[in-house]
Chain A
């Protein structure tokens, strides 16, 4: 090997060794360990971890009503966000137009995403608070007392209250991603279509949407992943309560690990999170492909 070759290999090695070691140590190993721990019973402290096979999985599926409640609550976030995706796309289309001030509104739409999640969660806590909370006060002052609810303590309402916080935070992100997708469509194609006599709906259906497949796929995937991992908002505002009325899947898993000291079961739930994300993402993919097939 000549010096250049040696120099090259040394450079490659030195550049990659640190990120790879860190990655193996803090990402790969914990993931594999998580999978392994789903088959044991461990409290996080004692020396041995008892291998119990599929017991955790059986308990998780058949004997965890609180976990299933958490899953239902998580689904609420998923479906509410899903409902808003077309609206977000619509707003992005509006922002893409050459209207004056579109840039400012673009910034305003995105701002909620970069605001500190915990800070804004507490702000919403104040909004929703039963004791002198801002929302109830405002409703009173405009004579809508009938709309006053126990936003955070009524199990029928609490998930919607929290999902609204999630909408507030994340719609802006989706809008910006859609906007980026829209702005990447070459002008000439749209102009050619206009010249050929296409109206707005036609252009939208046959040019815009197909060009945005990448972005739309990503937003749909991010929705599943985000919903399954929903943690900050319920953790800070209600802690999952009352009881488990507002608990989410990830919140329940982390509680199982760090509050109930049941790392085995928590790992099993973790594996379930991963599987659910992949399964739902694949189903979404299939549905979108079928819808596209109809259009083409």
Chain B
């Protein structure tokens, strides 16, 4: 159904109502999705800048005016001293895990992709099957291994788990290695380079996008991880951002405004990573999930 409108300049403009209506409803849907996504976040942010009295008397969606906004809740969280420990531990876990994952993942993918040898299919199949295993449940048995290795209550336990499991990076690296022409390897070999040199000087630098993707995805996963730090690092010196938040929850029961401040602080790192590195996160999720 379209209507013809004659303008001042005698031009005829066709308005296709069906198209306008469908555009409108699509935007309406998008706005609904945005509201649903932001509702719990906004409520938390709003609560984090209110005092207990304001919390009780005003609507949860009402942002207090500029002179009523209070940063007391944030000050309390920052001065508790727990935040520094948590950030330190979380960053340490992320950096060490990413470095090892990058080295191990890239070399493993390169070897599995470029070389033929006995047991190759077996090894590859083994890694594949490993990805099927339920994550939390295996902790029941993995816990014993960690205890026997005397790694319980150390930073080593989560690091070992983050490196040994979750081999999604194998797929990401494998796809990138496939894109590097074999001619590159061969010409380097003709020039007399050994395999180690070929890998470090030629292959790895070409895998930088994959490494970046891996770094971002792993960072998000580790920063958001709860159960592994919760199970393996009960010591208060070894709290991560997530387990620190759990501590706050039990000690701040009823004080929603302070807990909200802690929630916002813990949410910020991965949100920032997402805002700045969206491209890598999307690439990694898709590559790691839909295996060829």
Q: Does B241 contact A (CB under 8 A)?
A: yes
User: B138–A30 contact, CB under 8 A?
Assistant: yes
Q: Does A158 contact B (CB under 8 A)?
A: no
CB of A4 to closest CB in B, whole Å: 8
Q: Does A75 contact B (CB under 8 A)?
A: no
Q: Does B36 contact A (CB under 8 A)?
A: yes
Partner of A109, one of B33, B115, B161, B224: B33
User: A123–B41 contact, CB under 8 A?
Assistant: yes
User: A177–B285 contact, CB under 8 A?
Assistant: yes
Q: A277 CA to B136 CA in the complex, in Å? A: 14
CB of A20 to closest CB in B, whole Å: 7
Within 8 A of A (CB), among B217-232: 220, 223-224, 226-227, 231
Chain B contact residues: helix, strand, loop or mixed? helix
Q: Does A8 contact B (CB under 8 A)?
A: yes
Q: A34 CA to B133 CA in the complex, in Å? A: 11
Which of A16, A94, A181 has the most B CB atoms < 10 Å from its CB? A16
Q: A266 CA to B231 CA in the complex, in Å? A: 16
Name the residue on B nearest A225 (C-beta): B134
User: A215–B290 contact, CB under 8 A?
Assistant: yes
Q: A7 CA to B195 CA in the complex, in Å? A: 7
User: B289–A177 contact, CB under 8 A?
Assistant: yes
Q: Which residues of B contact A266 (CB under 8 A)?
A: 140
Q: A181 CA to B141 CA in the complex, in Å? A: 37
Q: A258 CA to B37 CA in the complex, in Å? A: 35
User: B271–A115 contact, CB under 8 A?
Assistant: yes
Partner of A177, one of B27, B141, B278, B290: B290
Within 8 A of A (CB), among B102-119: 104-105, 107-108, 110-111, 115, 117
Q: Which residues of A contact B199 (CB under 8 A)?
A: 11
Q: Does A253 contact B (CB under 8 A)?
A: yes
CB of A244 to closest CB in B, whole Å: 18
Q: Does A279 contact B (CB under 8 A)?
A: no
Which of B134, B224, B256 has the most A CB atoms < 10 Å from its CB? B134
User: A114–B115 contact, CB under 8 A?
Assistant: no
Q: A11 CA to B104 CA in the complex, in Å? A: 13
Q: Which residues of B contact A228 (CB under 8 A)?
A: 134
Name the residue on B nearest A102 (C-beta): B30
Q: A270 CA to B227 CA in the complex, in Å? A: 16
Q: A137 CA to B58 CA in the complex, in Å? A: 9
Which of A109, A116, A225 has the most B CB atoms < 10 Å from its CB? A116
User: B256–A132 contact, CB under 8 A?
Assistant: yes
Which candidate, B65-73, B80-88, B205-213, B242-250, is the interface stretch facing chain A?
B242-250
Name the residue on A nearest B259 (C-beta): A122
Q: A237 CA to B53 CA in the complex, in Å? A: 24
Instruction: Provide a sorted-by-A list of 24 A–B residue pairs whose CB atoms are within 8 angstroms.
Output: A11-B194, A15-B107, A23-B165, A30-B144, A31-B138, A34-B140, A107-B278, A114-B273, A114-B274, A114-B281, A115-B267, A116-B241, A117-B226, A118-B242, A118-B246, A119-B245, A119-B263, A122-B259, A132-B55, A134-B47, A138-B60, A176-B282, A214-B290, A270-B140
